[in-house]
């Protein structure tokens, strides 16, 4: 009996199932760290919502403009001095930019002389801001006269096509982004044509053909260091080499593209080398075993497999270059450009420089234009990054 009672399992004390004090402390620390991470995510999301919300709130009005309908008779006197033939309260509402276009309209179509037409004309900045409930700088008489036009159905709010069809202007209601959009497009093309072939060729040589010696390692280290150089230094380099030494026209898309190509090259080289390195060695060995030369193995087998990663890095590098302002300021691309460029040699500006220029202008109208320009620039960068992600997911192969 005594032996049976000795072999019988003893009940485990309930206190032994409780976690130790040290284990409970680890659980509390894990919950705290989880709370910290969740708080950081919520703060980041809150800042992003506030950022985009403030941009949309300030910039949405720039995508709309106010127009009033007037009856206008084209005569030599009215074309030169339209304010003299229009009612005083109506003439005070109209944008000065419209009056400047009248001689050009008659020059293009002389048959307009003597005709009376109903025209929808863009109003001045003060009236436009009043109609959008953003700012009220009108006199009581102007306010009453404009409200009469609204009641009569002679005032409307329409899409601001001038934002995309006009260049820069000293009149906020007439200013647009056409010159900067075309300049950005030309600069991107120059960057792509220069940095992509040079960057990919450099990556292929360093990864596939260069001997593993001290000189090669020094070159690779310096390329990695160039990716961290402040962008303003590339502007100084472009000013010294391309403008002062080579004589490339200042403020042109060519000098802007050359300067940004210097900044983009390290990113393309690094991403291309990473894409080439990700291709398994078995691909190379199999091609060489079948009698292909080393260049044939790289050209026909390694490079096609690495191309998705190369394209992704290239697009991301160009997207980063699109948002650069500092190097372009030093080569004169902050100039006032009312007309869109037609070649890469014409003086132009880019979206970030145009935004910077508008941000320094006084008035609520230019603040709205600045926010609208930022939204368009962000949309451009998001689209480029989206294209990079789509290409990567479509062509990516897992080994």
> What predicted TM-score, i.e. pTM, was given to this entire model?
0.83
pLDDT recorded at residue 1: 47
Residue 49: its H or E element: helix 21-59
Say how far apart CA 368 and CA 124 lie, in whole Å. Answer: 15
Residue 303: its H or E element: helix 303-322
Mapping DSSP onto H, E and C, the string for 179-200 reads HHHHHHHHHHHHHHHHHHHHHH
| Domains, the chain, with CATH or none | 61-160 (no CATH), 178-395 (1.10.3720.10)
> Any idea what the Cα angle at residue 357 is, between residues 352 and 358, rounded to 5°?
100
pLDDT recorded at residue 398: 63
Say how far apart CA 383 and CA 389 lie, in whole Å. Answer: 10
Which 8-state DSSP code applies to residue 123? B
Could you list the pLDDT tens digit for every one of the 399 residues in the chain? 455 555 555 555 555 556 678 888 888 899 999 999 999 999 999 999 998 898 898 888 899 999 999 888 888 888 888 888 888 878 888 888 888 888 888 888 888 888 888 999 999 888 888 888 888 888 888 888 888 888 889 999 999 999 999 989 888 888 999 999 999 999 999 999 999 999 999 999 999 998 888 998 999 899 988 888 888 889 999 999 999 999 999 989 999 999 999 999 999 999 999 999 989 899 898 989 988 899 999 999 899 889 888 988 888 888 888 888 888 888 888 878 888 899 999 999 999 999 988 988 887 888 899 999 999 999 988 888 888 888 777 776 665
Report CA Rg, the chain: 32
Nearest to 329 by CA among 310, 355, 304, 309: 355
pLDDT recorded at residue 11: 56
């Amino acid at each position: 009996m005594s032996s049976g009672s000795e072999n019988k399992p003893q009940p485990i004390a309930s206190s032994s199932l409780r976690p130790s004090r040290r284990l409970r402390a680890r659980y509390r620390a894990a919950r705290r760290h989880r709370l910290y991470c969740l708080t950081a995510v919520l703060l980041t999301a809150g800042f992003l919502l506030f950022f985009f919300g403030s941009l949309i709130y300030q910039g949405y009005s720039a995508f709309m403009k106010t127009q009033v309908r007037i009856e206008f008779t084209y005569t030599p006197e009215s074309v030169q001095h339209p304010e003299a033939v229009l009612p005083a309260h109506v003439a005070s509402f109209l944008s000065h930019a419209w009056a400047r276009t009248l001689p050009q309209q008659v020059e293009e179509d002389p048959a307009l002389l003597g005709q009376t037409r109903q025209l929808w004309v863009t109003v001045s900045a003060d009236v436009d801001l009043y109609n959008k409930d953003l700012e009220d700088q009108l006199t009581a008489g102007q306010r009453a006269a404009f409200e009469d036009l609204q009641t009569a159905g002679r005032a409307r709010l329409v899409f601001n096509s001038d934002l995309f069809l006009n260049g820069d202007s000293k009149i906020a209601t007439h200013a647009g982004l056409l010159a900067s959009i075309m300049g950005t497009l030309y600069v991107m093309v120059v960057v792509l044509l220069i940095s992509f072939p040079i960057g990919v060729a450099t990556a292929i040589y360093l990864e596939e053909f260069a001997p593993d010696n001290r000189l090669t390692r020094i070159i690779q280290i310096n390329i990695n260091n160039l990716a961290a150089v402040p962008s303003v230094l590339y502007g100084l380099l472009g000013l010294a080499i391309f403008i002062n030494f080579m004589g490339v026209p200042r403020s042109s898309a060519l000098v802007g593209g050359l300067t940004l190509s210097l900044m983009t090259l390290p990113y393309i080289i690094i991403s291309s080398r990473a894409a080439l390195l990700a291709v398994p060695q078995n691909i190379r060995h199999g091609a060489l075993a079948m009698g292909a030369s080393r260049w044939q193995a790289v050209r026909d087998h390694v490079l096609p497999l690495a191309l998705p990663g190369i394209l992704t890095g290239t697009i991301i590098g160009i997207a980063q270059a699109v948002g650069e302002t500092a190097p372009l300021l030093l080569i004169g691309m902050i100039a006032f450009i009312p007309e869109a460029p037609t070649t890469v040699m014409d003086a132009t500006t880019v979206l970030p420089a145009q935004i910077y220029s508008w941000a320094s202008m006084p008035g609520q109208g230019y603040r709205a234009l600045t926010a609208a320009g930022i939204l368009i620039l962000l949309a451009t960068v998001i689209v480029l990054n989206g294209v990079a992600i789509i290409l990567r997911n479509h062509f990516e192969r897992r080994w």
